[in-house]
Structure 1
């Protein structure tokens, strides 16, 4: 009987379960079965997967407190809109699968209505998983499905927030604003829903650059939210926006709200709120002692160690604002060191390197400044405006480094030359003292390293002389005493090096200390393979060695002075034009004029000084310098410009750019001989001007057209070597490396391989009238000949020869028959042309023009 009852109960339960599994019957048991199964099984696991995915996304995301924080801690990919259903994150994929499973297996749509109250949750999970996987179009479809099918859902506020977030990611901020503002008008929203809606509205207004409206809504979101992490984020954004509007007091209040939350929020927000508030400190009215103590407390707080890089940077900026540059530099370097260990914050590194570069630039230590600017660029995002600004500054610095180096070295040499002999000896004795200290320190370091290696060798040699060393070929083996000097190859090499440094190479003879025992005594100096002089340490410690290297002839001295003066002039122009450092420019140009410069530099230097005085607002100095230049050099173009700054002569005839443009038109007209002559004249006329390299490269091109590739190569090489830092010099280097090699081929191609041919008539270049009349006659004949698409050109071959060329003949037979046709064709007033001609393919014509080897083409060996 008992078994019967158990069996009956089991059957009844199975029947109930079977009935409850049905999604077509609207009964309490069915609804409860599917609702509970959806919520506590499928959706529960789906939410866990979603949170795991969010955690991985958040861990990969780094807050950038240097810029306006995003309203949502989420980095959307703006370069593409993914439309497919394939997920990239496995956790989001699993969450999506769970949501889809809940909809497919537990949806109870009966008579057009959904009876399972958890299906809207399933669609919301589906949309969220797609949103975070950055498949915004499928996500939007899921959210819209809830709004269309479940308008009475208790999640309707959340769904509308998520839909408008998705519209925002799809580039429709105006639509998001319109929908959410309408929702706020229709529905009464409060609490976290109000915070979420306000945050999305703020985000949308930021997207359309309406920051005042964004500030109003982010303030509402910060007040309404109960989530501390969101409250900290929204208040930080509020503070940043107030700072942009110049309302520092309101910004500080927002940052104080974050600081007051302290341990309730992520430490990064707490520290960056302190730092952002400190940036609003007014050094003129604030208590500097208290402020420094405040920063010091932040530095010494052990909990702040992960943020020391930013704290050091803030302390450095404070010291720099108080003109304590040496202390500021220490803290900038500490910030760099901490950043490398802690965070690898590229923005912070770029800021530190840039400031240090500017500090060294202001001290005129340009080589070091250049190194810091290089490091700045490696930490910046390319193709951005800040990157381009620093890159331009760094590029301009190349010239400064070059010419400052020249100026310093030449100044030093000229200063030493002017010293009496006893002062020269004293100067080099001081230098030798420093050299000896440096050499002794280096020797000590090398000795310590050698002893360390020797100790390692000794430890490995005992207990049977280390099998490893015993098996190494080429090493002398010890009989047991690991300390013997010659058993250690490292100490042997060290001893050889020290001997060579002190004595040089000596012959193995008696009295080897005498100078006569030096090897290669027949030569003045021993040369290494690279051609450098080998100098012994004894020579380096003698003042006479250095004094003997000083130039003594007047030609050498004048050459150094000339090089120094040109460097001063270039530095003056660079500081004036590229860096707007007018005081530095003035100093260099004034030093130039006091250094007895050559005539070509005097007038432009004076003119640039006049312009600098004008830019500095020094009206008295400007008038004096201007009148003096006009009085001393009345015929110069600079005097004319100062007398009549608006005159056509000042603008046109004397302006290098206009002169260059006129000369370039002559180049285009193939007046190459005139271009070369005028370019040489203008190079002398505008010596020291930035346009000189342009005239040089134009002259090189004209020489190439007249004399061929070899002459062109020499001319371009001169530009590359003489003006290496100008745009023209760099372009000349590219021509040498890339274009010239392609032009070197002098071998002619077989004529029957060509696909285009020319008929060429030769004229003496001086026969202008003959060339003109021939062109006219040939032009008339081309109009009535049965050939199609033929054109004429007049090409300069060299200084004495000009070609009239017929282009457009496709076959060699057509080219060969063209001349006889012209001789016999006499129609419509034409006389026929009997002048001799040359038939040549277009490829061979290019070779003839490049190498000026027409004779070789006509009379091949």
Structure 2
């Protein structure tokens, strides 16, 4: 009897299970079975996956404390995600669990949902899509809850999440409208109230309604159950008050964040302290109290992860107190923390660059600006601002280095033999000391490696094995030997030039401007010396230039660098004292005649700006008496010319020459450019004349001559705007123009020209013919034809007819002319496609074209 009873019991349980699993029967057991199965199985696992994804999202998100924080911590990615793909597998798993709960446990009977957990399932579905940044599908899920489950206890949450999604879709006005209606119609409390008001605050922030956002954040801060959220909302409140200029209200908000202490993430407390310090009144505030606070923040062990921000703020404090050395020390300490905040690092580098710039230490300033650029987003607005600063320093850094090197060489040239020997003996002692220190350092490193169980392998330079039987011979790794490293660097520069460490560094366009190897500046004497020569003073003495021609070249180069530095400091940076010293040093250095007069005139202008009237008068009288025929003397003798337009100034002459270039007077442009280059040598307009001359050479003599002329400008004036433009022409434009091959007429369907060729003509003859041709072209029906005069080379001029649409019409040009006009045009002509005409003008290969073509 027992076995039949057990069988019957099993069958009854199975039937009960089957009946209860049915989603089409609205029974108490069925409803509760599916509700419990959905809540404690599928949805439980789904919410766990959602929370896991949220945590990973928060860990990968870094707040930008240099701007107002967003209400919600969430990184928005710009990458396009294809259907079926996901940015985070946890959110995909959460969505799958939500879909599974709906598919297996939904009880939609007679149009009504009987499972009370389905609203939770759709809420999970919407949240997982929201965090996966698929906002349109998320919006559909939240709207479905509002449509199908109006009596759900999750209805207010669904409304808030719908508006969060609308905000992400930039529907801020709609979100404000819906959230205000929700707050008006519903008596929200607790976390629901906090979520609704915080999202309303975000919508107000997006629409620039800061006052309204502050009000909503106050409500959210008081209503939320999460101290993490409370600390964030209060901190954002303080930031917004600062944005409105209400520092007292901002400090009250930051104090509330500080009072939370360990209840909220520590970054908010540190940020609140820093924002309060930024609001400090340096005129009336208690500096002793502030110093104690900064010291306490610095020394607190819990603040170690935030020392980058603390050190930076201490640097700001010292900078405001005019303690530049202390400020510099703390900015550098902030940089040495290896901060992950790129904007903080950029700010540190920029401030250090500005400090050096203000002290006229331009080389160091340029290096700091280079570091700043490395931490900023390429082509962003801050990047472009710093790039402009850095570009302005390019010339001054180049010429300062040139002047410093050549000054050092000339100083050695002027030393007596005894002074040279003393100087280089001192240098050799320093090298020996440094070599000894390097050797001891290498020994310590090798010992440390042995102690840690690491095998040390001594590699001989050049791949040779160290000689055996040589005791105490310490062969060090290549990169630990400063001599071999210097040798390697020098060999690289001699082969490749000075190049940045970047992709495609071998391309010729990657050579740094101003770094063309001239065979002298880039030679590293230390790298080329043997070990015996390295410590021999006579080796260095032998390297000092002795030939008069070489010394004179170095002196001229140094003087030109002085002149350029004087102009740069005067015109670009308004550093008149520095400019004055450079011009004075130049005049004391026996400069070339061409630099004397412009240097004295610039000194006169500087004396005037500095209010040194007597010096200005002396300089003025000297220029008028010694150089009476110069344009400077004319300007000084007739001051009204200075206030008006000087027709003899380089700028005016350049404009007139450019107009001649526009009128195709290329030979005249070339000759006058050469004259002006010699006349204004050292003036900032010289590169402009050179580039204009190169363009005229190209138009008159063709591609090869143009390439050579542009290359000259690119190398000679590498650190000017024109030099950079020439480099761009070399790398970008010239390769596109190199092709000489003509295009077959079979491959051309439009744009042909008729060419009338004149050899060594008088311009009156050409003008007369063009006038007659224009009269003829007016009478041609169906075609709108026009003419122009184009210079081909120094002896040939073209009269060109434009507007012919195909080869057949072009070759039948004679037939287009009406009978009464045919006698007016007797000169021979040929037809040519526009593309081929361009090649003829670029490469000056008309003879080749005429031999190939049947015209």
TM-score range (shorter-chain normalised) is: 0.7 to 0.9
**Structure 2 portions without partners, runs of 5+:** 488-518
Other structure's SS at 1:793 match? strand
Residue number in structure 2 paired with 1:167: 166
User: Relative to structure 2, which stretch is displaced further, 296-305 or 683-692?
Assistant: 683-692
Residue number in structure 1 paired with 2:767: 772
Residue number in structure 1 paired with 2:507: none
What is the distance in 1 between the residues matched to 2:217 and 2:54?
23
Residue number in structure 2 paired with 1:352: 348
Q: Does 1:136 align with 2:135?
A: yes
Shift of 1:744: 6.1
User: Relative to structure 2, which stretch is displaced further, 576-585 or 703-712?
Assistant: 576-585
User: Relative to structure 2, which stretch is displaced further, 747-756 or 135-144?
Assistant: 747-756
What is the distance in 2 between the residues matched to 1:108 and 1:778?
91
Q: Structure 1 residues 810, 88: CA separation in 2 closer, same or farther (over 3 Å shift)?
A: closer
Residue number in structure 2 paired with 1:408: 404
8 Å Cα contact 2:603/2:619 also seen in 1:
no
**Structure 1 portions without partners, runs of 5+:** 461-465, 502-526
What is the distance in 1 between the residues matched to 2:143 and 2:616?
77
Q: Does 1:441 align with 2:434?
A: yes
Shift of 1:438: 2.4
Residue number in structure 2 paired with 1:828: 820
Q: How does 1:527-538 map to 2 (within 5 A)?
A: none
User: Relative to structure 2, which stretch is displaced further, 590-599 or 667-676?
Assistant: 590-599
Shift of 1:180: 0.8
User: Relative to structure 2, which stretch is displaced further, 99-108 or 845-854?
Assistant: 845-854
What is the distance in 1 between the residues matched to 2:471 and 2:828?
93
Q: How does 1:287-686 map to 2 (within 5 A)?
A: 287-339=286-338, 343-412=339-408, 425-426=418-419, 429-430=422-423, 432-446=425-439, 449=442, 484=471, 542=537, 546=541, 549=544, 553=548, 562-575=556-569, 578-579=572-573, 584-585=578-579, 588=582, 632=624, 636=632, 643=640, 647=644, 649=645, 653=647, 659-683=653-677
8 Å Cα contact 2:605/2:616 also seen in 1:
no
Shift of 1:65: 2.4
8 Å Cα contact 1:762/1:803 also seen in 2:
yes
8 Å Cα contact 1:760/1:840 also seen in 2:
yes
Residue number in structure 2 paired with 1:763: 758
Q: Does 1:76 align with 2:71?
A: no
Pick aligned residue for 1:717 from 707, 711, 715: 711
8 Å Cα contact 1:85/1:138 also seen in 2:
no
What is the distance in 2 between the residues matched to 1:65 and 1:451?
44
Q: Structure 1 residues 385, 748: CA separation in 2 closer, same or farther (over 3 Å shift)?
A: closer
Other structure's SS at 2:797 match? strand
Residue number in structure 2 paired with 1:66: 66
8 Å Cα contact 1:120/1:153 also seen in 2:
yes
Q: Does 1:35 align with 2:35?
A: yes
What is the distance in 2 between the residues matched to 1:102 and 1:396?
65
What is the distance in 2 between the residues matched to 1:267 and 1:489?
51
What is the distance in 2 between the residues matched to 1:125 and 1:628?
85
Q: Does 1:247 align with 2:246?
A: yes
Other structure's SS at 1:698 match? helix
Larger radius of gyration: 1
Shift of 1:411: 4.2
Deviations 1:343-394 (A, max 9, x none): 5332222222223333444454433433332222111112211111111112
Shift of 1:658: 5.8
User: Relative to structure 2, which stretch is displaced further, 121-130 or 40-49?
Assistant: 40-49
Deviations 1:189-209 (A, max 9, x none): 232222111111111111122
What is the distance in 2 between the residues matched to 1:266 and 1:532?
55
What is the distance in 2 between the residues matched to 1:234 and 1:674?
73
8 Å Cα contact 2:533/2:539 also seen in 1:
no
Q: Structure 1 residues 252, 857: CA separation in 2 closer, same or farther (over 3 Å shift)?
A: closer
User: Relative to structure 2, which stretch is displaced further, 161-170 or 560-569?
Assistant: 560-569
8 Å Cα contact 2:635/2:641 also seen in 1:
no
8 Å Cα contact 2:442/2:476 also seen in 1:
no
Aligned pairs, number = 798
8 Å Cα contact 1:120/1:150 also seen in 2:
yes
Other structure's SS at 2:758 match? strand
Other structure's SS at 1:802 match? strand
What is the distance in 1 between the residues matched to 2:89 and 2:255?
40
What is the distance in 2 between the residues matched to 1:40 and 1:291?
55
Other structure's SS at 1:828 match? helix
What is the distance in 2 between the residues matched to 1:454 and 1:301?
36
Report the RMSD for the aligned CA atoms in angstroms: 4.7
Deviations 1:375-429 (A, max 9, x none): 2211111221111111111222221111112333344456666x6x66x844762
Q: How does 1:51-130 map to 2 (within 5 A)?
A: 51-77=51-77, 84=83, 87-130=86-129
Q: Does 1:262 align with 2:261?
A: yes
8 Å Cα contact 1:425/1:543 also seen in 2:
no
Deviations 1:599-646 (A, max 9, x none): 7667766776788789x8x6x569995998699589548669963777
Q: Structure 1 residues 163, 737: CA separation in 2 closer, same or farther (over 3 Å shift)?
A: closer
Q: Structure 1 residues 809, 6: CA separation in 2 closer, same or farther (over 3 Å shift)?
A: closer
Other structure's SS at 2:337 match? helix
